[in-house]
Structure 1
């Protein structure tokens, strides 16, 4: 068999593999990631740097690969735990966006829902002096309730007055940002850091500087909960009536209404679930990854989660892998910059390219379908 024929056969096998719908949730995001890294490598080459070294430094900074040397009390394990600590709120936030996507909604208000949840948990529990065994579960409960109420408000406005959720969430983001900033600066400001007063260690969802052997590491208590939540969301969406109704509403609201599904109730419910997940992202961010709130600032996680949800194809398990990838890029960018001499903003370029190629997922499906049809036609003509 000639080399050209081997290449054609390999291409045809790849097309047949990617044509299968059950694999497209994995294959298309994987292609998007590969294409984005190739594009990023070209950018790095254009600025005169070695892309292989840059990507190696990126993974070293995130704790995926070992560094040549470490500071005292640090190792690859401590870097990896820091990665999980940063990934936890991003995973919750991305699940929030993914659930809304399943219902045909665009929850761009995750950052505001995070801020509201984090603020209420901070002033109610963070400054209360409660014991850890009470404070930590209470922080999670407040995050779920505050985020769920805010998300439910958006769903109710959509159902009752047909107010586009993008408009309402953007407006609520600004409302939350400036009202909470006012209260922090008036009552809870730290005169040194110019952020809110630091919360008690008992209320914090990350155990900081825990000594394990000769290491000191940060242990995110919410990470395991985030993984369990992703699995639970998958089960609800795939195996329950509630999940079927939400997906039906997201696929076609008119058809769902005609079949007897309560569109309004499921719209509100989807946004309550999405808001609750955003609330968990808020408390694991403001009372976990950080221990205070910066006034007038919305977390970038609320917006990065959109890219993560798109990359994960709005699938809970896919979101776990996509959030880990984006976290690796974010956490490793500082070390990459210092070792490879590449500006830290290159990491944002990589994330942007991933988002760009992920947004082309529908086009990729179309092209794969067209190419597979041509392959079948050639088979038939030969036979």
Structure 2
């Protein structure tokens, strides 16, 4: 194929669907997902399995499609609610990463902030015996404040001493992991599960085994809050002075400073917001999706949130949909493994491919822009 023909091919296959900049925040992630699933299908074919059947089983396991049969008190509805329960902390964690991204910061310490928030909420509220009406809102408040304080510390160190936030958050992850593990094993260990003692049902943010219409459901109370929070974050970023200043700092710190924007204050504020959202992720994870904490373990969800945020183009509404997709892959992997005979690790491969392709989003924008310019030049020469 000649060079001109190649350029024409890429022009019609890439430029036409991706050239509209208004729709690029949607079209580019969709292309990323499509490429990722095609690559995953190739991997599944290479191990001798049917990718269509595998993906069908994946959606069945996540509660998107019906299974042939269900255990007692279970149905597609209960599977879907379990999906939303797992998705809730992921939305909060991904919003935490997205807010930091907007301010030009990389919060890789979401897992540590989740752990600290979850632990403090557990020992302050989870073991307190408070009534549910008081306990549940207090859990959210403790988580948000604890995460915000850690995020604020990271932002202050960045502003005051120019300590890279990636280094700070990674170190704080390790500190949180081992210090909290010490306290759990010394004071709060459950001798049977070897995890922290289970919290009271009054403090838990998921209503477990609620019987409705002869079905036992897990109802995530934090899900609606996660959606509202995403909308609120979008409003703050798009419609307020605070959001404008944070995005200006993220785009160009020197230009923002020259324009009179307080770079230090916005750096700290962005990390406080990011940490607060990570704290909400922590309490909906450790006191919602689960009801105890495993010592010496950082949740992988804090790291998955980076991929989810990238896939959602760091857009709060995009984060909701990307969280939904990644949760489907994660929740459906067990059923896919049992039905299609494919190892669960394939789901991690798919998520990894999504992250890899999503990270190339800016390159896709650049390539589309260049091809678009060449297309305009070619038409001008022809005319």
> TM-score, structure 1 length as denominator?
0.97
Secondary structure class of the residue paired with 1:145 = helix
Secondary structure class of the residue paired with 1:71 = coil
Other-structure match for 1:171: 171
Secondary structure class of the residue paired with 2:63 = coil
Q: Which runs of 5+ in 2 are unaligned?
A: none
Other-structure match for 1:236: 236
Q: Return closer, same or farther for 1:332/1:13 CA change in 2, 3 Å cut-off.
A: closer
Secondary structure class of the residue paired with 1:210 = strand
Secondary structure class of the residue paired with 1:136 = helix
Which deviations, in whole Å up to 9, do the C-alpha atoms of 1:311-362 show, x marking residues without a partner?
1110001100101000000000000000000011000000000000001111
Whole-Å Cα distance in 2 between the matches of residues 160 and 375 of structure 1?
A: 48
C-alpha displacement of 1:11:
5.6
The answer as to whether partners of 1:78 and 1:216 remain within 8 angstroms in 2 is yes
Other-structure match for 1:47: 47
Q: Which runs of 5+ in 1 are unaligned?
A: none
Whole-Å Cα distance in 2 between the matches of residues 199 and 277 of structure 1?
A: 22
The answer as to whether partners of 1:17 and 1:23 remain within 8 angstroms in 2 is no
Other-structure match for 2:328: 328
Which deviations, in whole Å up to 9, do the C-alpha atoms of 1:31-67 show, x marking residues without a partner?
0000000000000000000000000000000000111
Other-structure match for 1:58: 58
Whole-Å Cα distance in 2 between the matches of residues 372 and 326 of structure 1?
A: 32
C-alpha displacement of 1:13:
8.2
C-alpha displacement of 1:27:
0.7
Secondary structure class of the residue paired with 1:129 = coil
Whole-Å Cα distance in 1 between the matches of residues 360 and 18 of structure 2?
A: 15
C-alpha displacement of 1:260:
0.2
Other-structure match for 2:209: 209
Whole-Å Cα distance in 2 between the matches of residues 11 and 47 of structure 1?
A: 34
Instruction: Within 5 Å, give how 1:13-24 maps onto structure 2.
Output: 15-24=15-24
Other-structure match for 2:289: 289
Secondary structure class of the residue paired with 1:217 = strand
Whole-Å Cα distance in 1 between the matches of residues 13 and 147 of structure 2?
A: 46
Whole-Å Cα distance in 1 between the matches of residues 361 and 17 of structure 2?
A: 16
Which deviations, in whole Å up to 9, do the C-alpha atoms of 1:245-294 show, x marking residues without a partner?
00000000000000000000000000000000000000000000000000
Say whether residues 1:188 and 2:165 are aligned partners: no
Secondary structure class of the residue paired with 1:73 = coil
C-alpha displacement of 1:234:
0.4
Other-structure match for 2:150: 150
- CA-atom RMSD in angstroms: 1.3
The answer as to whether partners of 2:148 and 2:275 remain within 8 angstroms in 1 is yes
Other-structure match for 2:381: 381
C-alpha displacement of 1:367:
1.1
Whole-Å Cα distance in 2 between the matches of residues 9 and 312 of structure 1?
A: 28
Whole-Å Cα distance in 1 between the matches of residues 310 and 10 of structure 2?
A: 28
Whole-Å Cα distance in 2 between the matches of residues 176 and 12 of structure 1?
A: 51
Ranges of 4+ aligned residues in structure 1 off by more than 4 Å: 8-11
Other-structure match for 1:35: 35
Whole-Å Cα distance in 1 between the matches of residues 9 and 195 of structure 2?
A: 61
C-alpha displacement of 1:19:
1.9
Secondary structure class of the residue paired with 2:343 = coil
Which deviations, in whole Å up to 9, do the C-alpha atoms of 1:69-126 show, x marking residues without a partner?
1111000000000000000000000000000000000000000000000000000000
Whole-Å Cα distance in 1 between the matches of residues 240 and 366 of structure 2?
A: 30
> TM-score, structure 2 length as denominator?
0.97
C-alpha displacement of 1:17:
4.3
C-alpha displacement of 1:382:
2.6
Instruction: Within 5 Å, give how 1:303-322 maps onto structure 2.
Output: 303-322=303-322
Secondary structure class of the residue paired with 1:207 = strand
Whole-Å Cα distance in 1 between the matches of residues 229 and 200 of structure 2?
A: 26
Other-structure match for 1:339: 339
Instruction: Within 5 Å, give how 1:52-201 maps onto structure 2.
Output: 52-201=52-201
Whole-Å Cα distance in 2 between the matches of residues 369 and 16 of structure 1?
A: 11
The answer as to whether partners of 2:11 and 2:371 remain within 8 angstroms in 1 is no
Whole-Å Cα distance in 2 between the matches of residues 10 and 251 of structure 1?
A: 30
Secondary structure class of the residue paired with 1:88 = helix
Whole-Å Cα distance in 2 between the matches of residues 31 and 14 of structure 1?
A: 10
C-alpha displacement of 1:381:
2.3
Which deviations, in whole Å up to 9, do the C-alpha atoms of 1:140-162 show, x marking residues without a partner?
00011000000000000000000
C-alpha displacement of 1:20:
2.2
